[in-house]
């Protein structure tokens, strides 16, 4: 039955004081609104962390994503987190971009204040993150490896614009289209039997020569009347010839017959061509395209250099070699990890050491800047300079500077969406451990929707459990298909969201053995504001923006229950 309110109405008037009429109360009964009753049931739940079976899960940590200042201010979010969670993960403020300054120094005051405040509240802090491509001080890092510019009093010079010797996996200044498959020769098979070379495979004769292309990228862009020299060592498994084009960016055509037509044979030869930018269409060229589509063979390239003629002399631009860049950036990674880990080690006992390493399109390979049409200002791909072992170095440094018992994770997203990516991450862990890394756990972010594929979620948990590693749901949040905004969400969708929160958490406890359960972190305790950079305006939280509990709170509590 519905609960009822009794409302009494008094009848009074100005003459009441002077009359002898007796006051009578009239009773009416009205139904309590269903929504109010439902909210009372939600609010009757206890704080979330009280539902965890600590006997069966003594080390389990129930965490929340948090921003530094709202927590430090000790307002509502501070009390909400302390009441409901064991641990917090800062969304931004412990990352390279927030801490490393323009001169390379580390600003750690805010971090230390946060660590002390959380410790006094009995809340642990999960370190996030040491090696990632995003949220980096990319301007500082790029400056470290920028060309050396010197002044001289000599005559005209040829200044290096870009070059590639393919002795490392750094592919920042070249890429291919789909039909041109890139790989490397073995060591000793480069030009003149030295080092290795780039191998481009075109499997069949294409309708157009530009259907299989190698792109060499550079900046600044070419301008009218400038003079350039292209020099490179080439060969192919069969005799071939291929034209070149001017592009502004890879795939954006500007001009034909750019650096001429190149001929190659089964023997290494050196191709050299000088041109003057005489056509206005060539201006703003930032890419040389090599059109390989008319010959089905393997093409080989080595020691590519593009130089610009400087008639006045006086300025020499010298690019750092790949090995010099690797050395410089290894030192920068050491400085960063040493600084943040040393400052945090009294409080932080677990770290997200390597974050989001795997590529979405090629889930068995690492992410790279190569092939991207745009790079965000705060993106810097360490792996493009340090190679596949960049993560090995990060784990070694974290272990060197932290506590001996620290727990170290590798973390990625979409593992429940792409099972191949989940397998790719697991294989990368095996590779790193084969090289000597000690990796304690794997984090799965799980930025999902209420209708995510449950079969894939189960498969992911089973694959992760089979590694024997600690497993953490590191950034769980949940919206709706189509990026539904808060104002459009329906009661039915909220019910589905609550059910999915319950399902994910129950499956974690069911499929991850007790000894491997590090914990679960709710990435967005509240719904996302419209101004947020993360899932803007979506109802992804357990609380509304105004701190009202949602059905998702109930789903989470029920999931945590034994």
Provide the CATH number for the domain around residue 178.
2.60.120.260
Write out the DSSP string of 31-99.
EPPHHHHHHHHHHTSPPGGGGS-TTT-TT-EEEEEE-HHHHHTTSHHHHHHHHH-SEEEESSTTSHHHH
Alpha-carbon distances, residue 269 vs 261, 301, 448, 501, 544 (angstroms):
14, 10, 53, 62, 67
Alpha-carbon distances, residue 443 vs 135, 245, 350, 363, 415 (angstroms):
19, 45, 12, 16, 10
Q: Are residues 310 and 359 in the same domain?
A: no
Q: Which of 127, 102, 79, 164 is nearest to 384 (CA)?
A: 164
Residue 489 included in any domain: yes
The predicted pLDDT at position 208 comes to 96
**Secondary structure class of 18 (helix, strand, coil):** helix
Q: Are residues 89 and 161 in the same domain?
A: no
Residue 523 included in any domain: yes
Higher pLDDT pick, 266 / 159: 266
Please state the length of the chain. Answer: 562
Q: What is the dihedral of CA 196, 197, 201, 207, to 10 degrees?
A: 180
Question: How many domains, in total, are found in the chain?
Answer: 3
Q: Is the pLDDT reported for residue 406 higher than 60?
A: yes
Q: Given the structure tokens 């590798």, which residue do they identify?
A: 410
The predicted pLDDT at position 317 comes to 74
Rounded average pLDDT over 442-451: 98
> Tokens in use for 537?
């305006």
Q: Is the pLDDT reported for residue 26 higher than 70?
A: no
- Confidence at 16, pLDDT banded by 50, 70, 90: very low
- Confidence at 29, pLDDT banded by 50, 70, 90: low
Q: Are residues 313 and 260 in the same domain?
A: yes
Q: Are residues 180 and 251 in the same domain?
A: yes
Q: Is the pLDDT reported for residue 448 higher than 80?
A: yes
- The model carries a pTM of 0.70
Rounded average pLDDT over 474-501: 96
The predicted pLDDT at position 156 comes to 84
- How open is the CA angle 177-179-184, to the nearest 5 degrees? 80
d(CA 176, CA 366): 17
Rounded average pLDDT over 532-544: 95
Q: Are residues 19 and 74 in the same domain?
A: no
The predicted pLDDT at position 469 comes to 98
Residue 227 included in any domain: yes
Residue 362 included in any domain: yes
The whole domain housing 79 covers 45-131+342-367+388-527+537-560
Q: Is the pLDDT reported for residue 25 higher than 60?
A: no
Residue 142 included in any domain: no
Burial 8-29 (b: 16+ CB within 10 A, else e): eeeeeeeeeeeeeeeeeeeeee
The predicted pLDDT at position 538 comes to 97
Per the prediction, the chain carries an average pLDDT of 92
Q: Are residues 287 and 434 in the same domain?
A: no
Strand blocks (E) in 185-296: 198-202, 213-217, 227-236, 240-247, 253-255, 261-264, 269-276, 287-291
Rounded average pLDDT over 2-30: 42
Note whether 215 and 175 are within 8 A (CB): yes
Higher pLDDT pick, 155 / 350: 350
pLDDT tens-digit series, residues 172-226: 999 999 999 999 999 899 999 999 999 999 999 999 999 999 999 999 999 999 9
Q: Are residues 26 and 114 in the same domain?
A: no
Q: Is the pLDDT reported for residue 495 higher than 60?
A: yes
Q: Are residues 124 and 92 in the same domain?
A: yes
Q: Are residues 264 and 155 in the same domain?
A: yes
d(CA 131, CA 392): 10
Q: Is the pLDDT reported for residue 497 higher than 80?
A: yes
Other Cβ atoms within 10 Å of 301 Cβ, number: 26
Q: Is the pLDDT reported for residue 7 higher than 80?
A: no
Percent of the chain with pLDDT over 70: 93
Q: Are residues 117 and 233 in the same domain?
A: no
């Amino acid at each position: 039955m519905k609960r009822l309110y009794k409302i009494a109405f008094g009848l009074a008037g100005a003459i009441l004081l002077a009359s002898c009429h007796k006051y009578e109360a009239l009773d009416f009964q009205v139904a309590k609104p269903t929504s109010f009753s439902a909210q009372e049931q939600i609010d009757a739940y206890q704080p979330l962390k009280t539902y965890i079976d600590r006997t069966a899960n003594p080390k389990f940590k129930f965490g929340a994503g948090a921003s530094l200042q709202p927590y430090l201010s000790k307002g509502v979010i501070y009390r909400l987190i302390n009441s409901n969670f064991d641990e917090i993960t800062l969304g931004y403020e412990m990352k390279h971009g927030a801490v490393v300054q323009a001169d390379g120094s580390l600003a750690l005051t805010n971090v230390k204040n946060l660590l002390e405040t959380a410790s006094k509240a009995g809340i642990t802090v999960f370190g996030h993150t040491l090696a990632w491509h995003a949220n980096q001080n990319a301007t500082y890092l790029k400056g470290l490896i920028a060309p050396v510019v010197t002044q001289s009093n000599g005559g005209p010079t040829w200044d290096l614009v870009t070059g590639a010797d393919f002795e490392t996996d750094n592919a920042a200044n070249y890429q291919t289209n789909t039909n041109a498959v890139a790989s490397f020769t073995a060591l000793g098979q480069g030009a003149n039997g030295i080092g290795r070379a780039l191998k481009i495979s075109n499997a069949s004769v294409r309708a157009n020569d530009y259907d299989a292309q190698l792109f060499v990228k550079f900046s600044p862009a070419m301008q009218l009347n400038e003079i350039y020299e292209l020099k490179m060592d080439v060969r192919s498994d069969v005799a071939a010839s291929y034209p070149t084009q001017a592009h502004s960016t890879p795939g954006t055509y500007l001009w034909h017959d750019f650096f001429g037509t190149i001929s190659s044979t089964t023997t290494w030869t050196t191709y050299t061509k000088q041109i003057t930018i005489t056509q206005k269409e060539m201006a703003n060229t930032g890419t040389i395209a090599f059109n390989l589509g008319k010959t089905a063979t393997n093409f080989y390239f080595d020691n590519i250099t593009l130089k610009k003629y400087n008639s006045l002399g006086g300025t020499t631009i010298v690019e750092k070699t790949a090995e010099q860049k690797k050395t410089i950036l290894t030192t920068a990674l050491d400085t960063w990890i040493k600084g943040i880990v040393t400052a945090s080690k009294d409080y932080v006992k677990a770290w997200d050491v390597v974050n989001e390493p795997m590529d979405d399109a090629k889930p068995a390979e690492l992410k790279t800047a190569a092939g991207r049409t745009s790079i965000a200002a705060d993106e810097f791909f360490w792996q493009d300079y340090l190679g596949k072992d960049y993560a090995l170095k990060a784990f070694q440094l974290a272990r060197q500077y932290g506590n001996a018992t620290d727990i170290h994770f590798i973390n990625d997203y979409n593992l429940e969406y792409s099972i191949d990516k989940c397998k790719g991450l697991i294989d990368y862990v095996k590779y790193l451990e084969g090289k000597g890394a000690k990796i304690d756990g794997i984090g799965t972010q799980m930025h999902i929707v209420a209708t995510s594929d449950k079969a894939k979620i189960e498969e992911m948990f089973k694959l992760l459990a089979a590694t024997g590693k600690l497993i953490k749901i590191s950034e769980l949040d949940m919206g709706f298909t189509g990026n539904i905004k808060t104002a459009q969400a329906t009661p039915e969708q909220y019910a589905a969201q609550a059910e999915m929160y319950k399902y994910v958490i129950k499956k974690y406890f069911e499929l991850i053995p007790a000894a491997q359960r590090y914990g679960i972190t709710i990435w967005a305790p509240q719904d996302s504001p419209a101004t947020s950079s993360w899932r803007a305006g979506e109802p992804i939280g357990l609380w509304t923006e105004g701190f009202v509990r949602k059905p998702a709170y109930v789903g989470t509590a029920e999931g945590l229950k034994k």
